[in-house]
Structure 1
């Protein structure tokens, strides 16, 4: 038995198409230079079709950011309870992004231009960087409590450097995709923070996938 797709389902599909196209456009040219018309052209619809779902460019950006966060919310929420699995998951995430870099592109583009407080994404970026740092602090603290970090490793410092390293590696990857492997370089950073037992646990998780 087949079921016809109702108006709500069709509307949800259209919204997803719009958000996927907007992610690409914002990632390519940033928020300031992007236009709703360009997003519409990417998927072959009218300007009015976009504004029916997202009346303003700021609302479209907010929806893109919310969509991006929803993709990683569960992973971040689970991180403190399963810290080693989180580190392995981060490495695998960037392996996946080698074939689909859209999330990295839009994040780095917006992070670069949203430093100004008046930018629509500024508050979101402040919150997101804070959440990433807090998550990594919780992860490294949990690993230290489990006796898996190297002696003297500071979870707060390790988290701050880890976030900076992630952004920096992604930027280098965009310029030299054949020379930079973000996932592999992050794995080496994590191994440097772990003691022998911790390194073995992370290696086993990475090999299992």
Structure 2
């Protein structure tokens, strides 16, 4: 039994190394521009050795997206409403520590706008499900009185705008790694939530907004 564990453990480790290399290569060159040979070179194995784990580039991309999805699920919050929306900061902090993760996601999000792209269905469904999930969290916050009442159609626009803001700020950070992306996102998230509550951020404590605004 002990003898069988060694090769198995080594195989699992090699598979993970390939996935990590694929994340970097696809994040830098895109799925279209990246190649199995580039990934094999980065791992330090032959292309023939790599395809024993992943027979083609599409199967490698599928495994990478599945792992990315599992990692994001682990960072999901358990408390409903605003607490879950504030939990988006956990994802931002993770991306700062794992730059390749957000490089991959944003690169694929752009490439996958092409319906023929192998990640198109995954990325489209991911955005759809994520927006629906956080819309549910905002509606829960409205129902519990955490934020001011708003129509569901208005809440949907708020979540769409929040996702656009997060992606835009992370693109700015990729272009300027010296930017403090955590503080940038925290500021805009706090400002958005304050507006939902009917307050606005000032130099000190939040200030009540004028009636009707």
Normalised by the length of structure 1, the TM-score is 0.83
Question: Offset at 1:184?
Answer: 1.9
1:165 Cα deviation after fit:
1.0
Q: For residue 132 of structure 2, what is the aligned residue in structure 1?
A: 134
Q: 2:81 aligns with which of 77, 83, 91?
A: 83
CA shift digits 1:51-96 (9 cap, x unpaired): 00100011111111111001112445x56x5233322321132123
Q: Which residue of 2 aligns with 1:105?
A: 103
Larger radius of gyration: 2
Distance in 1, Cα, partners of 2:93 & 2:75: 16
Point out where structure 1 has 5 or more consecutive residues left out of the alignment.
200-209
Judging by fraction of residues, say which structure has more helix: 1
Please report the TM-score for the alignment, with normalisation by the length of structure 2: 0.82
Q: Is the 8 A contact 1:90 1:183 kept in 2?
A: no
Do the aligned partners of residues 91 and 186 (structure 1) sit closer, same or farther apart at CA in structure 2, a change above 3 Å counting? Answer: farther
Q: Report the counterpart of residue 155 of structure 1 in structure 2.
A: 155
Aligned position for 1:192: 194
Q: Is the 8 A contact 2:169 2:185 kept in 1?
A: no
For the aligned residue pairs, the C-alpha RMSD in angstroms reads 2.3
Retained in 1: the 8 A contact 2:85–2:134? no
Instruction: Within 5 Å, give how 1:37-116 maps onto structure 2.
Output: 37-76=37-76, 82-116=80-114
Pair 1:15-2:12 in alignment = no
SS of 1:6's equivalent? helix
The aligned counterpart of 1:117 is: 115
Q: Measure how far apart 1:116 and its partner are.
A: 0.8
Distance change (3 Å), C-alpha of 1:186 and 1:47: farther
